[in-house]
Amino acid sequence: MRMLIKLFIGALALVIVFGYGAMVGRFQLFPYEYLWALAKTVTSGGVGHYDEYDRLVSFSSKTRVECPLQDHRTGVLLFIGQSNSANHGQEMVKTAYPQKVANYFDGKCYVAQSPLLGASGQNGEYATLIADKLIQKGTYDNVIIISSGIGGSSITPWAEDGPLNNMLLSVVDEFSARLNVTDIIWHQGESDAIYFMHTKTYVDMFLSLMKTLSERGVDAPYYMSIASLCKNPIVTYPNKITRAQVELIKDHDNIFLGVNTDELVTDKHRSDGCHFNGKGQEVTAVAIASAISKLRKEKAAAK
């Protein structure tokens, strides 16, 4: 009898843990990546940015620079979402404009290079590539990158009162006295597509995230990635998540298409069937930089 009780308790525990993993969007029994990020957020008072393996990005390779004084020709890019918005790309990159493109973290600026301070992961990213392309296009004279993506995260903890939302708001509170975000890049959806999150649920959670940022005075345009594919045969495109992302773009004046990575970033552009390789990083950066430049030109022409 005792053995049966133990087996029942053990099975119940596994169901609860797996259910929690589903809630936070991790396709595994125990969501290590998300929980490490959550633990570090809590223990650091909500401001810490650590990758999912509890390794603070090393400062040893970082070059400190003075933060540019923001004017109308300064772009401040906020990157949020999961791994493909963070430091999980294959190719390490460094800005070609070290005096013009900076990575802002904890009140200081550093020459932008992979991995960016503020996001999870130790590898490459495309945020720096976007910033360089915006300089090349003449869209901005200077660009400041604020990178806050967390690998493996569902949209759930990014919504109001969620732990990653609280982390993000702490970051915003820290820089808001000196910087105004000009562009928000959101790449997320792969985790939630695995568990077939309902379209309305995703839309409601994203609007909740927007509401919390707006209440903090962040009203920059959002550049939405259409993103759901990540080396999982049960997820096909289009799906409930991509329908939510398209609906958000269609129904809200402040949300624009940044890039459709489900279509643009094919398997040959991904290092492991999920995360972007160098080519994937490049094509994504080109698409998002073009979207930002296009909107800026349209707004300038309308004045």
Per-residue pLDDT band at 36 (split at 50, 70, 90)? very low
Amino acid at residue number 144: I
Residue range 161-191, pLDDT digits in tens: 999 999 999 999 999 999 999 999 999 999 9
Determine how many CB atoms are found less than 10 A away from the CB of residue 279: 16
Q: What CA–CA distances, in Å, run from 93 to 59, 99, 114, 225?
A: 16, 16, 5, 21
pLDDT at site 79 = 98
What backbone phi and psi angles, to 5 degrees, belong to 147? -110, 120
Q: Kindly indicate the confidence band of residue 61, based on its pLDDT and cuts at 50, 70 and 90.
A: confident
Per-residue pLDDT, 4: 58
By mean pLDDT, which of 53-62, 71-80, 228-237 is the weakest?
53-62
Which residues, 6 or more positions from 173, have their beta carbon under 8 angstroms from its beta carbon?
216
Q: Confidence band (pLDDT; 50, 70, 90) for 231?
A: confident
Under the banding of pLDDT at 50, 70 and 90, the label for residue 1 is low
Assigned token pair, 213: 């940022």
Written as one letter, the residue type at 173 is: D
Mean per-residue pLDDT, 22-48 = 40
Segment 243-264 shows an average pLDDT of 98
Q: Does residue 8 carry a pLDDT above 60? A: no
Q: Tell me the pLDDT of the chain averaged across its residues.
A: 86
Query: Residue 70: is its pLDDT beyond 60?
Result: yes
Mean pLDDT of 148-169: 95
Of 170 and 5, which is predicted with more confidence? 170
Give the model's confidence band at 23: pLDDT under 50 very low, under 70 low, under 90 confident, else very high. Answer: very low
Q: How far apart are CA 153 and CA 198, in angstroms?
A: 17
Q: Residue 97 pLDDT > 90, yes or no?
A: yes
DSSP collapsed to 3 states, the chain: CHHHHHHHHHHHHHHHHHHHHHHCCCCCCCCHHHHHHHHHHHHCCCCCCCCCCCCCCCCCCCCEECCCCCCCCEEEEEEEECHHHCCCECCCCECCCCCCEEEEECCEEEECECCCCCCCCCCECCHHHHHHHHHHCCCCCEEEEEECCCCCCCCHHHCCCCHHHHHHHHHHHHHCCCCCCCEEEEECCHHHHHCCCCHHHHHHHHHHHHHHHHHCCCCCCEEEEECCCCCCCCCCCCCHHHHHHHHHHHHCCCEEEEEEHHHHCCHHHECCCCCECHHHHHHHHHHHHHHHHHHHHHHHHHC
* Residue predicted with more confidence, 225 or 19: 225
Cis peptide, bond prior to residue 233, ω within 30 of zero: no
pLDDT confidence bin for 62, thresholds 50/70/90: very high
Please tell me the predicted confidence (pLDDT) of residue 289.
98
User: What's the CA gap between 211 and 204, in Å, rounded?
Assistant: 10
pLDDT for 48 beyond 50? no
What's residue 55's pLDDT?
36
Domains of the chain: 2-302 (3.40.50.1110)
Residues 6 or more apart whose Cβ sits within 8 Å of residue 3: none
Looking at per-residue pLDDT, the higher value among 221 and 16 belongs to 221
Quick one: pLDDT at residue 7? 54
User: What whole-number distance in Å separates Cα of residue 7 and Cα of residue 55?
Assistant: 36
How high is the pLDDT of residue 57? 57
Residue 233: band (very low, low, confident or very high) from pLDDT cuts 50, 70, 90: confident
